[in-house]
Amino acid sequence: MSARAMESAMGPGRFPGCDMKKLTQIGAAGLMAATPAAAQEAPREERKSVAPADMKAITPALARYTDDILFGDNWENPRLSKRDRSLVTISALIAGGKSAQLGGHLGRALDNGVTPQEISGVLTHLAFYSGWPNAVSAIGVAQDVFTKRDIGSDQIAPATMPPIALNAGKEKARAAMVNTTVAPSAPNLARFTNDTLFGDLWRRPDLSPRDRSLVTVAALTMAGDSGQLSYHLGRALDNGVTTEQLSETMTHLAFYAGWPKGMSGAALVREETARRSDAAANAAPARLIVARHGEGPAQQGPAANFIGTVEVTGRFASPAPSRTSGATVTFQPGARTAWHSHPLGQTLIVTQGVGWTQVEGGPIVEMRAGDVIVAPPGARHWHGASPSSPMSHVAIAEAADGKVVDWFEQVDDATYRNGPSGDQDGTRRE
């Protein structure tokens, strides 16, 4: 670390509409909080100095602040874990083009539990949020650190990975906003935003959605981009970052991005927290959704997906953010579904009669009223009534990227006539 790495402390100035008392309580508690007990109890001489020799020689006061405040107090505050502090720090340094200080903090990040795969993910993510040049410049620094620590390509995420699922309702609303506000004037920017940035990058599992939000907030704060920061603070809260962690992130960034940016970010945290509190207070009370037996329209199961007489009633769907939906399905004797699968699996609750079900490769299994059957995610299976008895069940499944089921070919008569085996092998009873 060199003297150039340290930002000079600046007065907070004035921020229109910012209630400093509330800001202290909610948005910037760490900026004005007392030194943590752990830091107070640790004798000064027992802490290893972090300040470099040139800093001690040229700016001894800055060296004291570096050792006692930045690393002796701020980094030791448990309101934000050291791993999260390292994620925030390397994100800010990459976004700010501070490659001279990046190497030391990449080493600290590895020591604090950030994995090489996550560091690679941060670099890729920040190419979009701080520009390709900043990310490419930082890659060389990371390469040097990885080489010194014998970190090989086997510890780095591949170019393509199976995508993770995001909240379908929120992503639909976000995409609609982009199409409304961006597409009319910049259609390709809207396309890249929806298809590449959020449709691909944000779904990569090399960073969790929570960590990806923390990285984004740090980069936008470093850049002073309050317009985008407001949205991403809300997204961070949705992704599991707490208000306390966001407040402490702004406290931490005051040292690395400068006091004005830390204070501005803290004010935005306060505003987002207040907005959510107001929305919760004004929200309509929760209401039960009741699908009454025998009420509502009845639909015949389509011939493309069923054999025999099948009736679907009592359809229901839980409101977002839940992705659960279902219905009551009644099969007359011999009726059955086609082979099908569900991306997140399916639960069947048999309410009356006797039925059969089978997962591909396994035996046919009998099910009766009161039985609960769970089909694994992605497993091809079928279910229906036995040849001599009707059967009804409630079928429940979750959507993945808006999709609940994939249908395949019909279950032929020869397969169906095999019937259940006597010992019911292939099932697992809890």
CATH (domain of 309): 2.60.120.10
pLDDT, average across residues 37-51: 59
Instruction: Give the pLDDT confidence score for residue 301 in this predicted structure.
Output: 92
Cross-strand pairs, 297:
none
Long-range contacts of 414-422 (CB under 8 A, 24+ apart): 415/358, 416/334, 416/336, 416/356, 416/384, 418/364, 419/356, 419/364, 420/356, 420/363, 420/364, 420/365, 420/366, 421/363, 421/364
Do 363 and 273 share a structural domain? no
Cross-strand pairs, 359:
381
Instruction: State the Cα angle at 253 between 34 and 50, rounded to 5°.
Output: 75
Number of domains present in the structure of the chain: 2
Instruction: Give the pLDDT confidence score for residue 341 in this predicted structure.
Output: 96
Q: Residue 143: inside a domain, yes or no?
A: yes
Pick the last residue of a domain from 249, 282, 315: 282
Looking at residue 5, the DSSP 8-state letter turns out to be G
pLDDT digits (tens, 9 = 90+) for 172-194: 999 999 999 999 999 999 999 99
pLDDT, average across residues 93-105: 96
261 class by beta-carbon count within 10 Å (0-12 exposed, 13-18 middle, 19+ buried): buried
Instruction: Give the pLDDT confidence score for residue 42 in this predicted structure.
Output: 43
Q: What are phi and psi of 55, to 5 degrees?
A: -65, -40
The residues near 312 (Cβ < 8 Å, ≥ 6 apart) are: 298, 299, 300, 301, 327, 328, 329, 330
Three-class DSSP category at 383: strand
Cα 208 to Cα 202: distance, rounded to the nearest angstrom: 9
Instruction: Give the pLDDT confidence score for residue 383 in this predicted structure.
Output: 98
Q: What are phi and psi of 359, to 5 degrees?
A: -95, 135
Instruction: Give the pLDDT confidence score for residue 424 in this predicted structure.
Output: 47
Instruction: Give the pLDDT confidence score for residue 46 in this predicted structure.
Output: 63
Mean pLDDT of the chain: 88
Would you place residue 422 in the very low, low, confident or very high pLDDT band (cuts 50, 70, 90)?
Answer: low
Question: Does the pLDDT value for residue 11 go beyond 70?
Answer: no
373, two tokens? 């059957």
Q: Quote the domain boundaries for residue 343.
A: 299-417
Question: Does the pLDDT value for residue 195 go beyond 50?
Answer: yes
pLDDT, average across residues 15-34: 40
Question: Does the pLDDT value for residue 6 go beyond 50?
Answer: no
Do 104 and 76 share a structural domain? yes
Q: Residue 228: inside a domain, yes or no?
A: yes
**Lowest-pLDDT choice from 6-10, 111-115, 259-263:** 6-10
Q: Residue 422: inside a domain, yes or no?
A: no
Three-class DSSP category at 83: helix
Pick the last residue of a domain from 282, 313, 334: 282
Pick the last residue of a domain from 252, 282, 312: 282
Question: Does the pLDDT value for residue 291 go beyond 90?
Answer: no
**Lowest-pLDDT choice from 146-150, 199-203, 322-326:** 322-326
Three-class DSSP category at 416: helix
Question: Does the pLDDT value for residue 51 go beyond 90?
Answer: yes
pLDDT, average across residues 327-353: 96
Handedness of CA 13, 17, 19, 25 (dihedral sign): negative
Do 162 and 52 share a structural domain? yes
What's the pTM value of the predicted model, to 2 decimals? 0.59
Do 49 and 159 share a structural domain? yes
Cα 233 to Cα 231: distance, rounded to the nearest angstrom: 6
Do 169 and 250 share a structural domain? yes
Question: Which residue did the predictor score with more confidence, 281 or 284?
Answer: 281
